[in-house]
Amino acid sequence: MDTTTLDLEKMKTSAGKACQMMKVLSNPDRLLLLCQLSQGEKRVGELEEILGIVQPTLSQQLTVLRDEELVTTRRDGKSIYYQIASPQALAVMNVLFEQFCGPQTGDNT
């Protein structure tokens, strides 16, 4: 097998992973959660208060993010803290923030 075939197989695998991440990010609640977490670790209660996503929706969406290994948790007493675990997800969130949430550069769209 030549290196072109190996690179193509690697690209196909990477494309599959990228598509899976984009599928997870295509949910508005999960996107909002990751946007908040891109700014730093947050408690579940903080996320609920900031985003207005109520239980059980919040728990359901956080479970999806955990299952996809995009976030990790830590417990401190009764509080559970979430943080982004995936460098790729953080990079995507940074680009999305810059493109859609950052200061407008004279564009009125």
Provide the token pair at 75. 């417990």
Buried b (16+ CB within 10 A) or exposed e, 43-58: ebeebbeebebeeeeb
Residue 63 has a CB neighbour count (10 Å cut-off) of 12
Distance CA 64, CA 25 (A): 10
Beta carbons within 8 Å of 105's beta carbon, 6+ residues apart? none
- pTM here? 0.84
Contact 37, 82 (CB under 8 A): yes
State the fold for domain 3-99: Arc Repressor Mutant, subunit A (1.10.10)
**Residue-by-residue pLDDT tens, the chain, 109 positions:** 556 667 998 999 999 999 999 999 999 999 999 999 999 999 999 999 999 999 999 999 999 999 999 999 999 999 999 999 999 999 999 999 888 887 764 455 5
Determine the pLDDT at residue 17.
94
* Confidence (pLDDT) at 1: 53
